[in-house]
Every structure is written in structure tokens, then in C-alpha cells.
């Protein structure tokens, strides 16, 4: 309970800081590949495509942003997401530590949709770990509704990593914190079973 309260305090404090935009994307362009600076498909993974001005996937589909960042700086990543299936609430911010577009060197921060239908379990861990055994630790599991937009926010600081999901009114539905990730490149993953889509993606630094 103390850890959750601390995460909320830090998230609120971070929200009050001045963030400098680095990159944003509304995906307001024709259906198909998202184009630069997005890199998709990632080797061995299905492509992530624009559909009706949203970036959509169905099977844990990733895309990386070909912009190198400084791991000693704090970053805020936010976007809205929705799922057409109650098995589809899986979406993560991707944080690559090598700048090599490899899933093997990437951490996730966001929603694990692998639980019971209509749920998101907040998670922060490496992709190899979650593919082998699952994260060593998970955050809270929250209930979500299909066809409803939610906000995903991740804050990566040199000292800690935070993730939260809120509704469009700003009410926090769940949040979680874990160890810092020495990120040098960001990306996005959406989808598990059924169509999951993201929009209004924004990356900023402190």
C-alpha cells in the first residue's frame, strides 16, 4: 500500500514538471504501415499498422521508434488505447536498452492482458523474462471494458520506472512502479487476442 501511494505521489509530481516534447503521432493518415520514424515489423514479429487513424495489432505486435534517447534523462510516454475483445487488453511501452530494435534487449511497461477476460495486469519487466516465465512481480489487476478508451502513461526516470492506466476523466484505475530501465529507444506493443489499437502517442523528456 505504501509503495502504491509513493508511486501516485511521484506520478503527480512528474505531471507537474515541464516536459519537452520529443515526438508525437496522432496516426491521422491512410491505413497501412505507420512509416518513419516507426520501425515495423520487428524481426520475427507481425507488423503493426494504421487502421482508421489508430495504430493497431492483434498478436502482441510491436513497433519501435527510430529516435535515440539519453538513459540519464527522465521521459514521459502517453497514449490512449482500446480493445475490441475482452482478451485483448495487452499493450506496453517498449524500452530498448541497446538501440538495436531487438525484442531480446527490450523491457515492457504496461498492461498484460493474459489473465481472465476484460482485465489488465500492470507489469514492468524484460521481454525475455515475460516470454519464458512471466514477470517476477506484477502490479494490480484492473477491469476494463471493450470499446472504451483508456490512458496509458509510463514515466521512466534514472531512479525508477512507473506505469499507470486511467480513464479519460483522469481517474487512475491502477499503477505500478519498478526498477529503472536504461532505455535508449522507445516503442509500442498492442494486441493479444482480437484487435487492440492505440492513438495520440506522445513522448517527452524532462
Please report the pLDDT score of residue 116 as a whole number: 67
Please report the pLDDT score of residue 6 as a whole number: 47
Q: What is the pTM of this model?
A: 0.89
pLDDT digits (tens, 9 = 90+) for 111-133: 998 766 889 999 999 988 887 77
Ranked by mean pLDDT, the top range of 9-23, 39-53, 169-183 is 169-183
Would the pLDDT of 3 be above 60?
A: no
Using CA atoms, how far apart are residues 75 and 206, in angstroms rounded to an integer? 6
pLDDT digits (tens, 9 = 90+) for 157-168: 999 999 999 999
* Ramachandran angles phi, psi of 127, nearest 5°: -60, -45
Please report the pLDDT score of residue 43 as a whole number: 74
CA 110 vs CA 30, 31, 62, 150, 178: distances in Å: 27, 25, 13, 12, 12
Please report the pLDDT score of residue 153 as a whole number: 97
Q: Do 65 and 23 meet the contact criterion of CB atoms below 8 Å apart?
A: yes
Would the pLDDT of 20 be above 70?
A: yes
Which whole number is the average pLDDT over 2-19?
Answer: 56
Q: Do 94 and 106 meet the contact criterion of CB atoms below 8 Å apart?
A: yes
Would the pLDDT of 12 be above 80?
A: no
3 state DSSP class of 84: coil
pLDDT digits (tens, 9 = 90+) for 70-120: 999 999 999 999 999 888 899 999 999 999 888 889 999 999 987 668 899
Which whole number is the average pLDDT over 33-53?
Answer: 87
Which whole number is the average pLDDT over 62-73?
Answer: 93
More confident position, 8 or 102: 102
Q: Do 97 and 181 meet the contact criterion of CB atoms below 8 Å apart?
A: yes
Min mean pLDDT across 30-34, 63-67, 104-108, 111-115 is at 111-115
Amino acid at each position: 500500500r505504501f509503495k502504491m501511494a509513493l508511486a501516485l505521489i511521484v506520478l503527480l509530481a512528474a505531471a507537474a514538471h515541464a516536459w519537452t516534447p520529443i515526438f508525437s503521432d496522432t496516426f491521422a493518415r491512410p491505413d497501412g504501415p505507420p512509416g518513419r520514424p516507426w520501425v515495423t515489423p520487428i524481426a520475427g514479429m507481425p507488423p503493426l499498422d494504421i487502421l482508421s487513424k489508430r495504430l493497431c495489432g492483434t498478436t502482441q505486435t510491436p513497433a519501435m521508434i527510430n529516435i535515440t534517447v539519453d538513459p540519464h534523462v527522465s521521459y514521459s510516454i502517453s497514449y490512449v488505447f482500446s480493445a475490441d475483445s475482452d482478451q485483448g487488453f495487452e499493450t506496453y511501452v517498449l524500452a530498448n536498452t541497446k538501440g538495436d530494435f531487438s525484442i531480446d534487449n527490450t523491457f515492457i511497461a504496461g498492461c498484460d492482458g493474459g489473465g481472465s477476460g476484460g482485465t489488465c495486469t500492470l507489469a514492468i519487466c524484460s521481454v525475455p523474462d515475460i516470454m519464458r516465465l512471466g514477470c517476477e512481480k506484477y502490479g494490480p489487476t484492473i477491469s476494463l471494458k471493450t470499446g472504451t478508451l483508456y490512458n496509458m502513461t509510463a514515466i521512466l526516470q534514472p531512479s525508477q520506472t512507473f506505469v499507470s492506466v486511467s480513464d479519460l476523466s483522469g481517474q487512475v484505475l491502477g499503477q505500478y512502479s519498478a526498477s529503472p530501465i536504461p532505455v535508449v529507444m522507445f516503442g509500442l506493443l498492442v494486441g493479444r487476442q482480437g484487435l487492440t489499437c492505440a492513438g495520440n502517442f506522445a513522448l517527452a523528456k524532462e
